[in-house]
Amino acid sequence: MSVNKQIVSSYNHLIDEFIIDFGYGQHWFEEYCGDINQQMRIHNILDTKEYLAGLHAINNRVDEMFNGKRFVPRKIVLQYAKRLIEFGTAYLVGNKVTITGDEEVVNAIKKVYKNGYEKMDFDIVHSVNKFGNAYEYNYIKDGKITSKLFDPADSYPVYNVDGEYIAFIEHYILSNISFYNVYYPERVEKYSNAGGQVYLKGTYTNLSGLPILYKNDNPIDVNYGRSDLDDYKTILDSMEDLISKSVDAFYKYITGIPVLKGQQLKGDQGLPTEVVGGGLVLDSDADFKFENNEFNHDAFESLYKHLMTSLLDISNTPGVVMGKVDISNLSETSIKLLFSLSNLKAMMSEKYIKLSMMQRLDQIRKLLELQGIMFSDEQFDTIDIVFAYAMPQSEKDIIDNLSKLRDMGAISIESILGQSPYTTDVGGELEKLARENVRSIDNVNSGTVEDDNTES
């Protein structure tokens, strides 16, 4: 028996044990997706989607009766969570990740990355920040290596009793018909219940293996990540409640109630009708004024500012990013201090994201080998992934530092171009520099010939 057949047999054995351990039947994947724990997890993902779409708790405020009439309360929605999650994503992968290592391997991987992987990196990190998880499948389409990102609400990774990742199910419903794509390490099985019964539509070879799991840190469950939104939601609910009720209070109580004391003069003793505007004519001992509650602006501002500060602290977002702090003429050290918490969060996220990205590179290597592109273990072991956080930097300081490194002979032209804030295409720039060098050499040679002719 070959090594591959032994691996397949081992995985099939794990699936069989899993089905027996949990008492599933022939269509075990259908029962697994219907499990209460899986349904609760999917329900939380759908709740997160609705929240990011603007369906907040403040929208559930019921109408009231005020002054004998129906009063519709304000429902002010603050979409800060969406902005904070976008900031966290852009901060980690807004600058493209860099693949380093053996030049031959790096060039091959870069060609693969041109097939949408750079955008995929952003989408993966964004999904992890929003839902705690992301799931990616690498495959070959039309002779090109590409990948697919699953919707977390359709994704069901399968773990056995020992916590081993043994299979993956993509389950979704269209027009009241359920579809199941079951991924095993060596094959993919597609099922449907069209007609009322679940049946096998087809079996396909799986060239890359199980979909890659991306997640962040979760102290409760090691198999699933945790949405960043869980840290922000209660603070945002309090902010929305505070500002909505404060606006209601202004319209309901601050506008004032007219109070008249004494006798009001009427008839011919009143104001003439041709006078623009209106007015009252009161008797000598009468008085008229508006009574109203006072709005404590300082208390509102203090509460709201405290909640906003807490939100920025919890999300590790500098106040300057949200326009809450005015700054000018900051040194590079000051900028680093401002973004120190953002760097800390990005480092924690990078640890988990990078681990899964390295698994992706292993799958890309496997697919490249199927296309006849081979690398030795020594070559591939040099490969690494480098993240460049999107922290504001002084372009002048960057150029000065690169220049000093070049003078020391401690950095290559290619690395300088990769770090330069003015270079977008390193390869193209290197080709232009090579052409310029060739022309310079030609000019020098041409000049040397002319001098020789002159002397003769």
Residue 456: per-residue pLDDT: 37
What average pLDDT does the segment 182-199 reach? 94
Q: What is the pLDDT of residue 267?
A: 55
Q: What is the pLDDT of residues 294-332, one digit of tens each?
A: 777 788 889 999 999 999 999 988 887 776 666 665 666
d(CA 450, CA 210): 68
Average pLDDT, the chain: 85
Whether residue 433 is contained in a domain is answered as yes
Domain boundary among 215, 244, 276: 215
User: Which DSSP letter does residue 263 get?
Assistant: P
pLDDT category, 455, cuts 50, 70, 90?
Answer: very low
CA–CA separation, 270 vs 281, rounded Å? 6
β-partners of residue 171 are: 180
pLDDT band at 2 (very low <50, low <70, confident <90, very high): very low
Query: Does a structural domain hold residue 52?
Result: no
pLDDT at residue 3 tops 50: no
Within a domain: residue 80?
A: no
Give the pLDDT band of residue 65 (cuts 50, 70, 90).
confident
**Domain boundary residue, one of 166, 194, 215:** 215
Q: Which amino acid is at 91?
A: Y
Query: Mutual orientation of helices 36-52 and 229-249 as an angle, nearest 10°?
Result: 50
Q: What pLDDT is recorded for position 271?
A: 53
Decide if pLDDT at 45 tops 70: yes
Percent of the chain with pLDDT over 70: 84
Kindly tell me if the per-residue pLDDT of 431 is higher than 70: yes
Domain assignment present for residue 160? The answer is: yes
Summarize pLDDT for 371-415 with one digit per residue, the tens. 999 999 999 999 999 998 988 877 777 888 888 988 998 888 888
- Residue 27, pLDDT > 80, answer yes
Give the model confidence (pLDDT) of 244-259 as tens digits: 988 888 777 666 677 7
Indicate whether 121 pLDDT > 70. yes
Asked if the structure places residue 359 within a domain, the reply is: no
- Those residues whose C-beta lies under 8 Å from the C-beta of residue 390, and which sit 6 or more positions away, are 90, 91, 92, 94, 95
Residue 175 lies in a domain: yes
Greater confidence (124 vs 417) lies with 124
Cα gap 438→23, rounded to integer Å: 73
Closest CA to 212 of 127, 290, 281: 127
195 belongs to a structural domain: yes
pLDDT of residue 422 exceeding 90, the answer is: no
What local confidence, expressed as pLDDT, does residue 319 receive? 80
Report which of residues 283 and 211 the model is more confident about: 211
Q: What percent of the chain has pLDDT over 90?
A: 57
Cβ–Cβ contacts within 10 Å for residue 385, how many? 19
Distances from the Cα of 37 to the Cαs of 157, 163, 413, in angstroms? 13, 15, 54
Q: Which residue did the predictor score with more confidence, 359 or 398? A: 359
Quick one: average pLDDT of 185-208?
Answer: 94
Number of domains forming the structure of the chain? 2
Q: Is 132 helix (H, G, I), strand (E, B) or coil?
A: coil
Do the beta carbons of residue 71 and residue 65 sit within 8 Å? yes
pTM over 0.85: no
Name the band, by pLDDT with cuts 50, 70 and 90, for residue 17.
Answer: very high
CA-based nearest residue to 214, from 157, 288, 291: 157
User: Which of 194, 215, 236 lies at the terminal end of a domain, its last residue?
Assistant: 215
Whether residue 154 lies inside any domain: the answer is yes
Pick the residue with more confidence: 437 or 184? 184
Note down the domain range covering 431: 405-456
pLDDT digits (tens, 9 = 90+) for 129-170: 999 999 999 999 999 999 999 999 999 999 999 999 999 999
